[in-house]
Amino acid sequence: GEPPAWAPGPAQAAALLEEAADLLVLHRDFAAAVERCEAGCDSLGPGPGHERCERFAEVKCSLCVVGIQALAEMNRWREVLSWVLQYYHVPEHLPPKVLELCILLYSKVREPQVMLEVGSSWLRAQANQSLPEFGSLLELYVARVLLPLGRFEGAEELVRGCAAFDGERLEALLGTICDSRCRWTQREEASSAAEEQQDPATENVLGVLSQKLLTMLTLLRRALRSMSNHFYLLPYKKMLLATFLLYLVVVRLDPASPTSLPFIYKLVQLFRQAWAAVLSPIHRPPIPD
């Protein structure tokens, strides 16, 4: 009998899929593998009837899986999601295998936020909730996307609303979310405690440095006021700036060190205030008769 009308498309795409797989695995020509995957997806066409064809869906999904791997091998992982969506158009239509690979990929490169909206849209689509892979994908989305981002309430909402989970599995997932929330809270508390311990030490050192700078500027001010008339013509600001820079060298601040930045910022403010205080009482001496 005559082959189905859709056979040539998937047949051509299947041949391109085989070529792409060989280029990926045997020859490690990742760019050429992506080209074959794109050609295969284009050969299938965008017809809505094709989406209902199991053979069409299988070949298209496999082409995208090989393409994802090839892009990742070229360190072009940032392009993966947009590349896949050009063939499936909306997140809700992504095959479970493709969604799984995308979640794992962006989790591995520590960019789980990329899959936040995509995964949510896919999981909330009514048509996907009857798929056998739905429960495992929800668990993966919770573990690799929501929990690393601290979205604990959203994770609980998804888990409690999933009819695929029985009582034991539900309790296990809720326990995992609770444990992750506790670890998150402990890290935040530890970080806050470390900052609080560092602040008094910073203020103490800054106080010592500030006092030294004030002493040096006070001595300089007295010297300026006792100078003769010709000294008035010297560039005060440049001399004070040189004194300030010399002070930084003396106290050995490292501008490249993050811990030195607050010192330098506050000392600059202090220098400006001292500069104004030094110049304010100094007037041009009267011209002698």
**CA 79 to centroid of chain Cα atoms:** 16
Six-digit token string for 255 = 């501008």
Same domain, 65 and 31: yes
Distance in angstroms (rounded) separating the CA atoms of residues 111 and 118? 13
Q: Which stretches of the chain score pLDDT less than 50?
A: 1-6, 47-52, 228-234, 246, 249-261, 263-264, 282-285, 287-289
pTM: predicted TM-score of the whole model, two decimal places: 0.64
Q: Tell me which amino acid residue 263 is.
A: F
Distance in angstroms (rounded) separating the CA atoms of residues 205 and 252? 13
Domain assignment of residue 102, yes or no: yes
Q: Which residues contact 6 (CB under 8 A, 6 or more apart)?
A: 49, 50, 53, 55, 56
Q: Domain limits at 153? A: 90-186
Domain assignment of residue 138, yes or no: yes
Helices and strands (H, E) in the chain, number of each type: 11, 0
Domain assignment of residue 40, yes or no: yes
Domain assignment of residue 193, yes or no: no
Same domain, 97 and 82: no
Domain final position from 40, 70, 87: 87
Q: Which residues contact 191 (CB under 8 A, 6 or more apart)?
A: none
Same domain, 133 and 55: no
Question: 202 with 253: CB under 8 angstroms?
Answer: no
Same domain, 71 and 123: no
Q: How many folded domains does the chain comprise?
A: 2
**CA 231 to centroid of chain Cα atoms:** 57
Same domain, 179 and 101: yes
Domain assignment of residue 58, yes or no: yes
Domain final position from 121, 154, 186: 186
